[in-house]
Amino acid sequence: MSTLSNKRIIVGISGGIAAYKSAEIVRRLQDAGAEVRVVMTSSAEEFIRPLTLQALSGHPVHADLLDPEAEAGMGHIELARWADLLLIAPATADFIASMVHGRANSLLNAIILATPAIVAVAPAMNQGMWSHPATTDNMAMLAKRQVRIFGPDSGVQACGDVGPGRMQQPEQIVEQVAGCFAGQQLSGKKLVITAGPTREAIDPVRYISNHSSGKMGYALAQAAAEAGAQVTLVSGPVNLEAPERCNLVRVISAADMLSATMDACTDADILIAAAAVADYRPVTVATQKIKKHAEAINLELEKNPDIVSAASTAYSDLFVVGFAAETQDIESYARDKLQRKNLDAIIANDVSRSDVGFNSDNNEAWWITATASKVFSIRSKTQLARDIVDAIADQLKA
């Protein structure tokens, strides 16, 4: 189930060029399961027409603070009470200043003052305006008031300037909105996740590895932390920032990962083995760089340790979730692995596809247990990670 299922969200639009992105935000929020209402300032209507937002949201767009029809119906106070979250996107420099000073000269400003909901802003302005001390002070005041701040990004701006101030992309904003509602379904649980590839040395400069980016494992670590778990992330070499609120243990080889994982699982409740561990490693590792003299060389390989099997055998109370990266007969091979390795659940995906799997930001997967299976259709790895965490929580309750 989507993180935003049954959530009520107001999208407030102030008058900036980034308002054209607001339509996509509304659509993506609805795709994620949210019920959306739109409130616009008068200047926002100069950039995007209310009819567009009405067609997307399926509800009338609210704009006038003194609209008699609105006051006879929901009214600005009722609208403020209706929401679970109020997102202002774009939030211009002027509108942010009006928030800081508590002005109520527009319907959107009045709702901000009246709502008990979470309030979030997605700033959008020229890089000079963003860097001005007045804006810096205003953003600090919003943060002090527990307003969530999404972005901004840096890059080429509508005016031609380059720098910070661009509103984030709709998909980024929607993912952060979802993060505001993350449940605590794994509160009190200790969870270990392995992620990324391993590197098996041939000599001091060469190694055997694979194409794993680590994105799925890192997304799972973030989702588990959002769900209240105490997370240890055992990661092979990747080019990703460490997830917040996670204990990151960096490793290189499969042997390193085995040792770190077994140590971390000593008092853990759950293991998610998302790493793409190299199946084989060289029997001997040259101490010096192998020179390119011969036309061919023979490399003798031996099996690497099976980390997930070792953990499931050593810790009988551990809830163990494995991964099966396959290129054919996905579910069949995954079920075989589930049984052979004594797993509680397995997540299988097709890594032969270029639109999902290795190095992609999206994924499609099967969730398989001994008695059931279901398909998570293609979605962002961030959303898939949240869905997997929900599935684990449900399984633990069963």
pLDDT of residue 73: 43
The strand pairing partners of 6, in sequence order, are none
Residue 6 in this model has a pLDDT that exceeds 80: no
* Domains annotated on the chain, with CATH: 8-179 (3.40.50.1950), 190-397 (3.40.50.10300)
Q: Rounded to whole angstroms, how far apart are CA atoms 256 and 384?
A: 28
Please tell me whether residue 156 adopts helix, strand or coil conformation: strand
Over range 183-199, report the average pLDDT: 90
Q: Rounded to whole angstroms, how far apart are CA atoms 94 and 98?
A: 6
pLDDT of residue 69: 54
| Nearest residue to 182 (alpha-carbon basis) of 222, 118, 226 | 226
pLDDT band at 235 (very low <50, low <70, confident <90, very high): very high
Over range 111-137, report the average pLDDT: 92
Helix (H) or strand (E) run with residue 308 in it: helix 307-314
User: Any residues with CB less than 8 A from the CB of 343 and at least 6 apart, and which?
Assistant: 308, 312, 320, 321, 322, 337
Catalytic site includes residue 159: yes
Q: Rounded to whole angstroms, how far apart are CA atoms 82 and 38?
A: 12
Q: Rounded to whole angstroms, how far apart are CA atoms 339 and 188?
A: 29
Q: Which residue has the higher pLDDT, 396 or 326?
A: 396
Residue 128 in this model has a pLDDT that exceeds 60: yes
Q: Which residue has the higher pLDDT, 7 or 12?
A: 12
Over range 369-385, report the average pLDDT: 87
- Structure token pair of residue 252: 């290189």
Residue 64 in this model has a pLDDT that exceeds 80: no
- Annotated catalytic residue: which of 159, 180, 246, 265? 159
Looking at the chain, the whole-number percentage of residues with pLDDT higher than 70 is: 94
Residue 56 in this model has a pLDDT that exceeds 60: yes
Structure-derived torsion over alpha carbons of residues 45, 47, 50, 52, reported in degrees to the nearest 10: 180
Q: Which residue has the higher pLDDT, 67 or 350?
A: 350
Q: Is the dihedral of CA 384, 333, 359, 246 positive or negative?
A: positive
pLDDT of residue 187: 81
Residue 178 in this model has a pLDDT that exceeds 80: yes
Q: Per mean pLDDT, which range of 165-169, 182-186, 257-261, 347-351 is the poorest?
A: 182-186
Residue 157 in this model has a pLDDT that exceeds 80: no
Kindly list the distances between the CA atom of residue 7 and the CA atoms of 34, 235, 384, in Å, as whole numbers in the listed order.
5, 34, 18
Helix (H) or strand (E) run with residue 247 in it: strand 246-250
Residue 236 in this model has a pLDDT that exceeds 90: yes
> Given its phi and psi angles, is residue 374 left (phi above 0), alpha (psi -120 to 50 degrees) or beta?
beta
| Nearest residue to 64 (alpha-carbon basis) of 111, 23, 27, 96 | 111
Give the HSE-up count for residue 135: Cα atoms under 13 Å, Cβ half-sphere.
18
Mean pLDDT of the chain: 89
> 189 with 223: CB under 8 angstroms?
no
Residue 348 in this model has a pLDDT that exceeds 60: yes
- Structure token pair of residue 45: 């209507």
pLDDT band at 74 (very low <50, low <70, confident <90, very high): very low
The identity of residue 335, as a single letter, is: R
What's the N-to-C CA distance of the chain in angstroms? Answer: 17
The backbone torsions φ and ψ at residue 262, rounded to the nearest 5 degrees and listed phi first, read: -65, -40
pLDDT of residue 325: 81
Residue 289 in this model has a pLDDT that exceeds 50: yes
Over range 217-228, report the average pLDDT: 89
Over range 238-249, report the average pLDDT: 91
Q: Would you give the DSSP letter of residue 277?
A: -
What is the secondary structure of 325-343 as a DSSP string? EESSSHHHHHHHHHHHTT-
pLDDT band at 356 (very low <50, low <70, confident <90, very high): low
Over range 3-28, report the average pLDDT: 89
pLDDT of residue 227: 84
Q: Per mean pLDDT, which range of 267-276, 309-318, 373-382 is the poorest?
A: 373-382
| Nearest residue to 363 (alpha-carbon basis) of 265, 216, 175 | 216
Task: Compute how many other C-beta atoms are within 10 angstroms of the C-beta atom of residue 136.
Answer: 11
- Structure token pair of residue 43: 């200047």
Over range 165-172, report the average pLDDT: 92
pLDDT of residue 66: 62
pLDDT band at 277 (very low <50, low <70, confident <90, very high): very high
| Nearest residue to 213 (alpha-carbon basis) of 230, 236, 193 | 236
- Structure token pair of residue 391: 């599935």
The backbone torsions φ and ψ at residue 270, rounded to the nearest 5 degrees and listed phi first, read: -140, 140
Q: What is the pTM of this model?
A: 0.59
Triad 319, 321, 324: Cα angle to 5°: 160
Q: What are the strands, taking DSSP E only, across 134-209?
A: 148-149, 153-156, 162-166, 190-195, 200-203, 206-208
Q: Which residue has the higher pLDDT, 33 or 360?
A: 33
Instruction: Rank 48-62, 76-90, 130-144, 218-232 by mean pLDDT and report only the highest.
Output: 130-144
